[in-house]
Amino acid sequence: MYAIIRTGGKQYQVAAGERLRVEKLAGNVGDTIELSDVLLVADGDDVKVGQPVVDGAKVTARIVEQDKAKKVLVFKKKRRQGYRVKNGHRQEYTALEIKEISA
């Protein structure tokens, strides 16, 4: 059984027991959250597609980690102008462990 969920402006295919990194969600490590933006639920040959979401479907997950990703360097330069800028960015993320999918 798997589901397709939407969070943080992205879509993810999830199944029970998987670990997943998503955009930062509010909560502490160990908290349980419910994701209700479920776009599709598939259980063998039984597939439910939402318009846009499946009514009554939810995915229960546990927050495993709240952290920042590796640094991404941003370097800008204009030739012959003496213009050079170097910046770094670390995106915050939340690691989830999917507990169950209910349709």
Taking the C-alpha atoms of residue 34 and residue 49, their distance in angstroms, rounded to an integer, is 19
Task: Give the range of the structural domain holding residue 79, as residue numbers without chain letter.
Answer: 2-102
Q: What does pTM read for this prediction?
A: 0.86
The total of structural domains in the chain comes to 1
Taking the C-alpha atoms of residue 79 and residue 47, their distance in angstroms, rounded to an integer, is 55
Mean pLDDT of all residues in 84-102:
97
pLDDT given for residue 101 in this prediction: 95
CB 95 within 8 A of CB 21: yes
pLDDT tens digit string along 12-66?
A: 999 999 999 999 999 999 999 999 999 999 999 999 999 999 999 999 999 999 9
pLDDT tens digit string along 45-55?
A: 999 999 999 99
CB 10 within 8 A of CB 88: no
